[in-house]
Amino acid sequence: MKKLLFVILINMAFVAMPLFAQDAQDAGDDFYYVKVPIARIYPYSKGYVVTYNVGTYGTEVDTVYIPASWFLARENKGFIVHLKGTPVAPNITVYYRNGAFDHVKLYVREDSRDPSWGYMPLQTNIDDRFEGVTDVPLKLSITKN
């Protein structure tokens, strides 16, 4: 009797699984990401200044400004992942949902003495670059053969 009950419960679980999977498919989320190598990241009082490699060969760099408030739990738009003891190169990964910016992850070296970290001179004032930032506009250059 116990074996029969167990078999019935297992079968019910398998029958119910597609019902839950259908709900996830109906959401219709188009979720993708773009990952580019970081040339240098600069901590600043209002956030992070990230210079990243553009193009196939990384011969050009561009800059994005990411507000510090994004990294607070209530904003949930920015995440920092410390790379410790891994060969993964520092990178910025921007996630999009249905074609619109969703969140960003900075994969950075834990040791701030790493060459990927830079320092802003004390007299630098770029506060205005962090105001009104709503996404991370990556400039990408794709070459065709």
pLDDT tens-place string over residues 97-109: 999 999 999 999 9
State pTM to two decimals.
0.75
More confident residue, 28 or 31: 31
Report pLDDT for 144: 53
Question: Which residues, 6+ apart, have CB-to-CB distance to 140 below 8 Å?
Answer: 34, 36, 54, 55
| Between 126 and 29, residue with greater pLDDT | 126
Taking alpha carbons only, the member of 69, 50, 43, 53 closest to residue 133 is: 69
Question: Of 58-62, 84-88, 95-99, which one has max mean pLDDT?
Answer: 95-99
Q: Please state the domain extents for the chain.
A: 31-130
Tokens of 12: 């019910």
94: closest CA among 106, 86, 82?
106
